[in-house]
Amino acid sequence: MQTPPWLQPSDGAAAALQVAGQHWNYARLFQEGERISRALAEEGCGLLRLVAILGNHTAWAYGAIIAAHRLGYGYVPLNPALPGQRLANMVCQSQTRTIVVPEEGLTALEGLLLALSTMPEGALPTGEKPPFTWICPDANGFGDLPNRFPQHRYIGQEALDRLAERHPSPIPAPSSLAYLMFTSGSTGQPKGVPVTFANLTAYVEYWQNHHAIGPGDRVTQPADLSFDLSIHPIFVAWASGALLCPIPLHSRLAPAKFILDTRLTVWVSVPSVAMFLEKVNALQPGVFPSVRLSLFCGEPLPVRTAEAWRQATPQGRLLNLYGPTEATVAISAYEWQGSPSSAEARSGIVPIGWIFATQQGALLQAGEILNFHAGEGELCLAGSQVTGGYLHNPEKSAHHYIRTPATGETLWYRTGDWVQRREDGCLFFVRRLDHQIKWRGHRIELQEIDAVLRNACGHDFAVAIPWPVGKEGVEGLVACVAAAGSVDDAAILAACRRALPAYMVPTRIARMPQLPLNANGKIDREALSHSLTLHEPQGNR
């Protein structure tokens, strides 16, 4: 394996990053990366050699990624907006002892320190509670936290400057982790997906070879670092000498002005953003003339939105991407071409297209047989982008990562997505096989919300359901709770806010005399959805 392409900038003077009023060229990005890396010690990154980053909307969070990768370490993105308990769980699962906290993340630090200090010893895979090193590259003060939590080490801006320079490590081992991304987990805890340098390099090289961009391109970064869609723009842009342009958090709601002000040439987002722009009439023909390549990923792309976007970006190509975090961002693509594509779409949704030529896809059918031809089945994926299993979760890994007698040593990832495959290999998403949903691009295991609801309610008759579900997908989340019980709605929702990311907190609670059960004695979510549709006024969503 060679040095990853994103660690070899060819022009230090070229613009690399434009975020929150900070403009860094490649020379500055790598200087700051080197400076942060001075405080990263081998033992502090743990067995998995990971550095956590508590930050999003600041150049220093991006500098921390370079800091980790130049030493061959991976990173764990921690979103400061998440509850402290959840962050502490991720830190413990990752086994890191080093967390980079840019100034913007300091507000979340107290909650994380408190949560870490109250975690039971057994919660840590190593069975011990280590002291952590907190590195703040852009400020000196940690306030009174060092006095209140004196067991940890704190390195501020000036202390960092005094440390000795660090040379980069030769080349990361292919099997070393490039990043650890947490997704929603059905057991009530976030689930870690370790992605290696080999996985990430395979993904980036695919894009360099098939849809190359280069210096002069300005690439959207539409998401928090903890959302795996951020991986594409960061590493493809930096591997190509392009400029990375993260969208400010609140501008993401309808970023038409941002696209024009930034003169973006490459657009990456979940379809919801385009749907929002469409709803507020901002997606007019020809409105974004600078965009030459648009990529949508993370949820079904409606035909109407694809066509409106194509007309809004008349100079551009539009690709609909599909892929789970476990296969490194995306693994299939469909190019939208107007009328011919409309004729191919099914149920008003754009096809998810063809598996990348460098990877493999097959349909798992009855009897654990993999079908490589046309038909229907659970989509299974294999190849250099496909990861090797979940973190500290052998049971879940054994279920989702399989080998079959007919395909020998090849490791297949079962996606849980039921798809149809045409004779020419084009794939069409049909439905999920479990209770996972996509909500504005976020992947949510409903059972994870159920676990929090049941804990808060003190009984088992509480589930989350996606409702309403329109033609273009999920529009909201409702918690259905049996009327019995002494815990009021506000307390239940407050418990959800303490334990779950904002996008997983139900919008409201629907009280029901009793929850319907299916033939297997399980709570029947479909019946609940029908019941809400029958009884709830449209405005009460």
Partner 1 sequence: MNKTHVEQVVLEFLARHNGAPGTPPLAADDNLLERALLTSMGFIELIQILEEESGRPVDFTQVDPASLLTLRGLTTTFAAT
Nearer to partner 1, 287 or 512 (CB): 287
H-type helices in 140-225, by residue range? 145-148, 157-162, 197-210
Contact status: 475 vs partner 1 (CB under 8 A): yes
3-state secondary structure 73-108: CEEEEECCCCCHHHHHHHHHHHCCCEEECCHHHHHH
Contact status: 476 vs partner 1 (CB under 8 A): yes
Nearer to partner 1, 533 or 540 (CB): 540
**Which one-letter amino acid corresponds to residue 126?**
T
**For partner 1, which residue of 502, 526, 533, 535 counts as binding (CB under 8 A)?**
502
In the bound complex, what is the minimum distance in angstroms from residue 300's beta carbon to partner 1?
A: 16
Site residues (CB under 8 A) for partner 1, limited to 379-408: none
Q: Which residues pair with 98 in a beta bridge?
A: 133
In the bound complex, what is the minimum distance in angstroms from residue 99's beta carbon to partner 1?
A: 23
Contact status: 212 vs partner 1 (CB under 8 A): no
Question: Dihedral of the CA atoms 340, 343, 346, 352 (nearest 10)?
Answer: -10
Contact status: 250 vs partner 1 (CB under 8 A): yes
Site residues (CB under 8 A) for partner 1, limited to 521-540: 539-540
Dmax over Cα atoms in the chain, in whole Å? 67
**For partner 1, which residue of 396, 414, 440, 454 counts as binding (CB under 8 A)?**
440
**For partner 1, which residue of 107, 507, 518, 533 counts as binding (CB under 8 A)?**
507
Nearer to partner 1, 403 or 508 (CB): 508
Cis bond before residue 394 (omega within 30° of 0): no
Region near partner 1 per CB under 8 A, out of 248-256, 314-322, 350-358, 442-450:
248-256
Site residues (CB under 8 A) for partner 1, limited to 63-92: none
CA dist., res. 402 & res. 336, Å (int): 33
CA dist., res. 528 & res. 539, Å (int): 18
Angular region, 161: left φ>0, alpha ψ -120 to 50, beta rest? alpha
In the bound complex, what is the minimum distance in angstroms from residue 281's beta carbon to partner 1?
A: 7
CA dist., res. 159 & res. 136, Å (int): 10
Nearer to partner 1, 370 or 477 (CB): 477
Nearer to partner 1, 122 or 537 (CB): 537
Q: Number of residues in contact with partner 1, rule: CB under 8 A?
A: 31
Give the phi and the psi of residue 519 in degrees, each rounded to 5. Answer: -60, -25
The residues, any chain, with a CB within 8 Å of residue 248's CB and separated by 6 or more, are 20, 57, 258
Nearer to partner 1, 9 or 255 (CB): 255
CA dist., res. 474 & res. 271, Å (int): 12
Nearer to partner 1, 164 or 490 (CB): 490
Site residues (CB under 8 A) for partner 1, limited to 253-312: 253-258, 260, 272, 276-277, 279-282, 287
Asked if 173 and 72 count as a contact pair (C-beta separation under 8 A), the reply is yes
Contact status: 341 vs partner 1 (CB under 8 A): no
Nearer to partner 1, 255 or 351 (CB): 255
Asked if 306 and 350 count as a contact pair (C-beta separation under 8 A), the reply is yes
Contact status: 251 vs partner 1 (CB under 8 A): yes
Contact status: 497 vs partner 1 (CB under 8 A): yes
Q: CB count, 10 Å around CB of 199?
A: 26
Region near partner 1 per CB under 8 A, out of 108-116, 138-146, 196-204, 497-505:
497-505
H-type helices in 424-541, by residue range? 446-457, 489-499, 525-535
Is the four-CA dihedral 229, 284, 57, 215 of positive or negative sign? positive
**For partner 1, which residue of 50, 112, 509, 515 counts as binding (CB under 8 A)?**
509
**For partner 1, which residue of 216, 248, 314, 458 counts as binding (CB under 8 A)?**
248
Nearer to partner 1, 277 or 355 (CB): 277
Nearer to partner 1, 378 or 475 (CB): 475
The residues, any chain, with a CB within 8 Å of residue 402's CB and separated by 6 or more, are 368, 380, 411, 412, 414
**For partner 1, which residue of 148, 508, 522, 530 counts as binding (CB under 8 A)?**
508
Binding site for partner 1 (CB under 8 A): 248-258, 260, 272, 276-277, 279-282, 287, 440, 475-476, 497, 502, 505, 507-509, 539-540
